[in-house]
Amino acid sequence: MATLGTAGHVDHGKSTLVQALTGIDPDRLAEEKARGMTIDLGFAWLALPDGRQVSIVDVPGHEDFIKNMLAGVGGIDLALLVIAADEGVMPQTREHLAILDLLRIPRGIVALSKCDLVDDDWLALVREDVAATLAGTVLAGAPIIPVSALTGAGLPELMAAIAAHLPPEREVAPDAVPRLPIDRVFTVSGFGTIVTGTLLDGALHVGQEVVIMPGGRRARVRGMQQHQAQVQAALPGTRAALNLAGVARHELARGMVVSLPGALAPSLLLDARVECWAGAPRAIAHNAVLDLAVGAAETTARVRLLAGNEILPGAWGWAQLRLAEPVAVRRGDRFILRNPSPSETLGGGSVVEAPARHHRRNQPGVLAHLAALASGDPTAIIRATLATGRGHERMLTEDALIPKTQLPATVVKSTLTALLAAGEIAQVGAWHLPASAWDELRARSREALAAYHQQMPLRAGMPREAWRTRLDLTPAQAEAVQTALVAAGELSFTMPAQIGQAAALLHLPQHRPSFTPAQAVARDALLARLQADPWNPPPFAELEAQAGRDVLAALVENGALARLNDDLLLPAETFAQARDAIVAFLREHERITVAQARDLLGATRRTIVPLLALLDALHLTRRVGDIRVLAPDR
């Protein structure tokens, strides 16, 4: 099944022709029937002689309803451009043709309607004019078939042309993600909320959980119809009506997109390749505020050109579109840009990145990056995606690359395998990054550690968290990078002997902390002073003045001293004896007070209170009111 969309000037007989082909009147609104003019989208379906069915979207032709027209033509496979034989090409004919061209609708047929009103000579002239108008567009060379909905002339030929120009049956990848841009929302008594649209990309099944973007509302596909028949699944390229459970009518609107959870992100900033229609009345200027139509959505966009100050008619350029309201789109989606006043089509283009990050103008690297993304080549897209950003942003797992690149999982996997084999990228744990970025990351690690060793020669190494922050890695990435660098002999780690400290210290393999002769003398004097009266240590500031901050830090780090708090240090042997004595006392007596601990150790309250607090922090003891007990499992 495929979808056909009509196009053409107002009153050229689009809806009448659809009814003649299908027996279905696509004008569903009372106002449309009263005025005899299509105002909003209409829908029908056609059964071909070979048994195939075609969904039909009928669009309004009047210039006042061009936004409604745009909401219906985005997902069609085949365009039926209707031109009245008695009037020929008219203004909305040209604009609708331009829209079909800008949207790159792949196939088309021209129906010369009302042929019963003209003679053969006039019909021949109109055919020549139409053929000339189609030249240079996606419909160039399309069949031009005279028809009359009144007499039935040409309808069999038109039916045959539709059958001949339908796209072949498409293969749907099992991991392709479905998207259904909503073009109509209504309720049916006893069923609830119904949305309709043309399904894109992947298959959708009854019972699936879906999300409606933007907004993130969750729902479930309770039921599904195609051509008023219940179905269990719908394939891309077909029209579908979804009965959604879990979401109310007032929560939905035309332009939203039904997809699977996690598949789409709302975008307020798009990277785009923008084209100015060759027949546009003016250029697209830098910072112009235009109406954007994409899928079934419509919003306002500021067009920020990334090079130059305007795009002339017939030319194209790279741009960022800053939107007034978020849209849910993917790379490759086509859009239309129109001037809001006077209302006129200026151009269109394709989405390159969504959501996008802000770019500076006139940057060759940015333009080359966008060209790679727009190429459609999986290798170029993955290269460009991995090269985007800094630090942790340039390390991506295979699972993260799938939504980032918007490529099928099988394509991502095979492309990564080829890039790894060619040495273009590196794999670190589950993460992938450009080989040059991996070399840069290794160099930054070496430089960070070397600078730390030079600044802190007595320290065993750099705290792991400081190293991770310096390299701008997530905790999981840091773990993988550390493992890889240790395996390569470029990094070593030490678990500090410092009491209460369990985090690794990272260092270059050749680094060994060492005291200068003067520092060694100060160290020995300091330790001798503390050991002489271990339970009455001088304040930290006094010890720092005696030996220096670096010596004190090194002695705490290597476990020679235990730091009770910001002001007190104990010799490690004294702390160990006190710890063991208190644990033994608790095993015998089950509880201990500050006064009992003071008498047990022959110490002062000044040292006992922080000592007990440290034992609590080490989960050896637990405070209960004014006493301590052994911690569980001790």
pLDDT tens per residue, range 73-98: 778 889 999 999 999 999 889 999 99
451-489 per-position pLDDT tens digit: 999 888 888 889 999 999 999 999 999 999 999 999 999
Other C-beta atoms closer than 10 Å to the C-beta of 161 total: 20
**C-alpha–C-alpha distance, residues 283 and 220, integer Å:** 45
Q: How far is CA 626 from CA 581, 588, 601, in A?
A: 19, 19, 18
Query: Mean pLDDT, the chain, as a whole number?
Result: 89
| Domain 527-630 in CATH 1.10.10.10 | yes
Residue 561 CB contacts under 8 Å (≥ 6 apart), including other chains: 530, 552, 555, 569, 570, 571, 572
Q: Across residues 539-553, what is the average pLDDT?
A: 83
- Is residue 408 over pLDDT 70? yes
| Domain ranges across the chain | 2-165, 180-259, 267-365, 375-514, 527-630
Average pLDDT of the segment spanning 585-599: 91
Instruction: Please state which CATH number belongs to domain 375-514.
Output: 1.10.10.10
Q: Which residues contact 153 (CB under 8 A, 6 or more apart)?
A: 115, 116, 146, 147
CA angle in degrees (0–180, nearest 5) for 126-131-135: 150
Q: What pLDDT is attached to residue 352?
A: 95
CATH class of 2-165: alpha beta
Which uninterrupted H or E stretch holds 589? Answer: helix 572-589
Say which CATH topology domain 180-259 has.
Elongation Factor Tu (Ef-tu); domain 3 (2.40.30)
Q: Which two tokens stand for residue 19?
A: 């009814």
Q: What is the pLDDT of residue 386?
A: 92
Q: What is the mean pLDDT of residues 132-153?
A: 94
Residue 314 pLDDT exceeds 70: yes
The arrangement of secondary structure in 267-365, i.e. its CATH architecture, is Beta Barrel (2.40)
Same CATH topology for 2-165 and 375-514? no
With beta carbons less than 8 A apart as the criterion, state whether 336 and 99 touch: yes
Tell me the C-alpha distance between 614 and 568, whole Å. 12
Q: Please report which confidence band the pLDDT of residue 593 belongs to, taking 50, 70 and 90 as the band edges.
A: very high
Q: What share of the chain is helix, strand, coil (3-state, %, to 5)?
A: 35, 25, 35
Task: Give the confidence band of 549 by pLDDT, cuts at 50, 70, 90.
Answer: confident
Residue carrying the six token digits 């476990």: 559
Adjacent-strand bridge partners of 294: 297, 335
pLDDT of residue 159: 93
Token pair 């210290």 in the structure block, residue:
505
Q: What is the mean pLDDT of residues 417-442?
A: 95
Model pTM?
A: 0.77
Contact call for residues 404 and 263 (beta carbons, < 8 A): no
- pLDDT, position 39: 58
Residues near 369 by Cβ (< 8 Å), separated by ≥ 6?
Answer: 384, 387, 388
With beta carbons less than 8 A apart as the criterion, state whether 264 and 330 touch.
yes
Query: Looking at residue 477, what is its pLDDT?
Result: 96
CA distances from 605 to 183, 547, 568, 612 (A): 77, 26, 12, 10
